[in-house]
Amino acid sequence: MSEATNPNGDGSTTVAAGVSSAIAEPPREKVTKKVLTADHPTWCPGCGDFAVLASFYKVLEKLNLEHEKIVTLAGIGCSSRFPYFVNGHGAHFIHGRAVPLASGISLSRPDLHVFLFGGDGDGFSIGGNHLDHGARKNINLTYFIMDNFVYGLTKKQTSPTSPIGFKSKTDPTGAIDQPVNPMKKLIAGGATFIARTHAANVVHMMQMIERAFDHQGFSVIECLSECVEFFPDVFDPANPKKGGSFEVIDEKKWDGTPEDELRHDVTDELAAYKLASLPFPGVFGVFYQSDRPTKNALEKKWIETTREKAGNASDLDILQKTFDRMK
């Protein structure tokens, strides 16, 4: 999503007519955690989402983006409270509808950095359909899904990623439905950057956020983020501090060595699908990445061509001509 750092797309910046480029801009305030911190997070003590927020602040600090260009959006859920805690443009939207909201913002304001946050219920259940369409259209944004295998905010219902046998208020004798495999869903949906991480591994989480940010297109990170209240310890098998093992995907280096042949090619969809089929807790890192054109780029080109065909008329003239034709 680094397109936003270069609004004109050619290395230039626009100076409004009549405004002298000699006017010195006041020095920019550095984007620090202090500047980025808004409200006090209201998650339960020990909730995995705290680490996600801390990692996000750290990545923003490192990237030192223009503060006014940062947008955080979310649906509904504990994880979706995220925009409240970030001092930037933000919105807490209807449950499951964060992707269309973010898509509109990304398409109409390519100069902004659009970050989307939410939970497994928001993304894979009520918003599952929107996720697929954002992915196939390859909208330029970064979507961070805090997957805790449960509906946290509404106090323990089975979520689309809850494992079979999970006892909840909606499945008191244990869940019987096949859970969604987030990586497989995202690969099939057409997302062009797909990664998986764990909230207990801040360094890895930050690497994934940065790589997702650098990607042009629909970048998604699934992060195992523990709900200590309603599904504690479920991610321990992938947490070395709790006796588990965190296995990172060994990506191809394209160095021509025999060992490189065994490494994962992130552009290989089938190989990504095989990694996604590994039993829980699976592996972590970048599963898939492709450079398919974004809708943002395709739509921009289409608008330019159409405008040219209309003799570079203004929006108002084009609208007027359309109305005139309808008379």
Ligand X SMILES: Cc1ncc(C[n+]2csc(CCOP(=O)(O)OP(=O)(O)O)c2C)c(N)n1
Residues that bind ligand SF4 (CB under 6 A): 43-44, 47, 49, 78, 148, 152, 227-230
The answer to whether the CB of 246 falls within 8 A of the CB of 239 is yes
Cα–Cα dist 205/225, whole Å: 11
Q: Name which of 12 and 178 has its Cβ closer to ligand X.
A: 178
Of 37, 154, 170, 290, the one binding ligand X (CB under 6 A) is 154
Q: Which stretch binds ligand X (CB under 6 A): 117-125, 216-224, 255-263, 303-311?
A: 117-125
120 binds Mg ion (CB under 5 A): yes
As measured in angstroms, the least distance from the Cβ of 152 to ligand X is 3
Alpha-carbon 3 to chain mean position: 16
Determine, following the binding rule CB under 6 A, whether residue 158 of this chain makes contact with ligand X.
no
CA distance 198 to 235: 8
**Token pair 């919105």: residue:** 91
Cα of first residue to Cα of last residue in the chain, in angstroms, is: 43
DSSP type of residue 123? I
CA 146 to chain CA mean position, Å: 10
Nearest distance, CB of residue 273 and ligand X, angstroms: 24
Q: Given the complex with ligand SF4, which of 49 and 122 has the nearer CB atom?
A: 49
Look at the chain and count its residues: 327
Residue type, 132: D
From the list 76-84, 274-282, 301-309, 315-323, the region that binds ligand X by CB under 6 A is 76-84
Pick the piece of the chain touching ligand X (CB under 6 A) from 112-120, 211-219, 286-294, 307-315. 112-120
- With residue 223 as reference, give the H or E element that holds it: strand 218-224
154 binds, among Mg ion, ligand SF4, ligand X, none (CB under 5 to 8 A by kind): ligand X
Q: Calculate the CA 278 to chain-centre distance.
A: 23
- CB of residue 26 to ligand SF4, shortest distance in Å: 39
Q: Contact residues for ligand X (CB under 6 A)?
A: 76-79, 95, 118-122, 146, 148, 150-154, 159
